[in-house]
Amino acid sequence: MLRSRLSSFPGITGKSLIEQVSGLKEEDCFQEFVPNLKRKKEGCVVLVYDLGVKRNIVKTLIGLGCSVKIVGSGTKFADIKTLGASGIVFSNGPGDPEPCTEAIKFAQLAIKDRMPCLGICLGHQIISLALGGKTVKMSVGHHGANHPVVNLRTGKIFITSQNHGFVVDEQQFEEIAEITHRSLFDGTIQGYRLKKFPVFAFQGHPEGCPGPQDIEEIFEDFLTSIEQKVEILK
């Protein structure tokens, strides 16, 4: 019986699953207990575009001094103008990124508006598609908390948490982006930053660090771009 059910499973390619998991609220993240008030960043309001966000992403942002607003995956870009966001995080989430057309459109508009953006896991893939890139189904996905990733700028190696079955095809990225991180297991893209826009992306889970927290530098780079934007607007 189990074998027949497995053989009849249609797979997840071509299916959008984010509607089933989007819906975290700020109060679910205990925001009032987490901020380090000494590190509160003036004007740093981060909008989390919820594709199935992990609570620890929100807690990490708050712990780094940000005010956080969470919006669902069906939110229109025009609707966020009143929220005063100074940066956007496209969260993790399940499944194939290509059917997530509304999220891709949202990312395209955010990038065009020169909004500082950070994509994590599925969000990393959504931003890639928004830039005209492609994603492909992996024959063997990345799952676990022991994946070595190298920072190509510094040569530093991180042990990261990963949980994805799709990967960004890098062929069209050389002209517009700098590849910043690679997997030491299979060489796939693990991170990049755009050359002309304040946009960063990371395939793994920088918030998923049961031991050392040095991979939180992914958040720090993003927040630095927000601080630069806030300074310009003063």
List, by residue number, the catalytic residues: 121, 205, 207
Beta bridge partners of 135: 168
Reported as half-sphere exposure (CB side, CA atoms, 13 A), residue 84 has a value of 9
Contact 149, 192 (CB under 8 A): no
Tokens of 145: 């908390």
Instruction: Please state the length of the chain.
Output: 234
> Is residue 87 within 8 Å of 117, Cβ to Cβ?
yes
* DSSP of 42-84: TT-EEEEE-SS--HHHHHHHHHTT-EEEEE-TT--GGGGGGGT
